[in-house]
Amino acid sequence: MISQKKGLIVANWKMNHSHLEAIHTIQKFSYAFDIEQVPQSKVVICPSFTSLRSVQTIIESDELPVLLGAQDVSENKNGAYTGDVSAEMLSQLRAKFVIVGHSERRKYHNESNELILKKAKMALSFGITPIVCVGEIEENDGLVEEQVNSIKSISDKIVVAYEPVWAIGTGKSASVEHIEKVSNSISDIIGFETTLLYGGSADIKNASLIMGIDRVGGLLVGSASLDGENFAKLIYASLS
């Protein structure tokens, strides 16, 4: 199978880090990270909404080799949607990516495949690349296929993150064989050109092994991205 370009490493800070902690974390990351060691890397940091502006300012003023991403976006353009954040607002902060349909949004906010498609399209219309998350709750429950089919129409414009729900935040990533099998069946639906990330307890120890899987082009990292220095080491481990 085609070996795609590897190197997209995305930090998902979830609901962690106040804006002050976010500044500290990105600074710690910048001291520890030297892009010349992994020139093929494309690093994206997705802080919470309240930290986006602070992180953006540091990235731009210090010219860090890092792109900004958000963790969610509204499916609506603007208007009376209390608590929501629009794609236009994100694009004005120069966010280049947004995570859409994370399993925690699907679970705690009942996000459906239809809603996730609308959010992804809204992001695209403002030049933001959606990282659409898919993943089964239990092994072989058929959910991944359904989720992937629902985004097939835009698969050439998005990044897909395969995150088995049972592997998220558990410290136990899926096995190489399992990731290989599911990433191939995802690719059978959306094609082999779409960048495919793996997420679910990716860490310094397993990063290189997972990145060795032919179809895996990068990682979506939660817990192991919360410490700036640790995250820099994880990127080196994945790509050197």
Catalytic residues: 102, 163
User: Other C-beta atoms within 10 Å of 23: how many?
Assistant: 17
DSSP at 153: G
Find the shortest distance in angstroms from Cβ 29 to ligand PGA: 16
Q: Which is nearer to ligand PGA, 169 or 212 (CB)?
A: 169
CA-CA distance, 53 to 50, in Å (whole number)? 7
**Three-class SS state of 132:** strand
Q: Which two tokens stand for residue 169?
A: 């935040």
Q: Which is nearer to ligand PGA, 26 or 168 (CB)?
A: 168
Quickly list DSSP for 173-218: PPPHHHHHHHHHHHHHHH-SSS-EEEESS--TTTHHHHHTSTT--E
Binding region for ligand PGA (CB under 6 A): 12, 163, 168-169, 199-202, 220-224
Residue whose C-alpha is closest to residue 207's, from 235, 179, 177: 235
222 Cβ contact partners less than 8 Å away, ≥ 6 residues apart: 12, 13, 14, 168, 169, 199
Asked if 181 and 155 count as a contact pair (C-beta separation under 8 A), the reply is no
Q: Which is nearer to ligand PGA, 76 or 208 (CB)?
A: 208
43 Cβ contact partners less than 8 Å away, ≥ 6 residues apart: 9, 10, 11, 33, 65, 66, 67, 235
Q: Which is nearer to ligand PGA, 188 or 198 (CB)?
A: 198
Q: Which is nearer to ligand PGA, 195 or 201 (CB)?
A: 201
181 Cβ contact partners less than 8 Å away, ≥ 6 residues apart: none
Tokens 């997209």, located at residue: 8
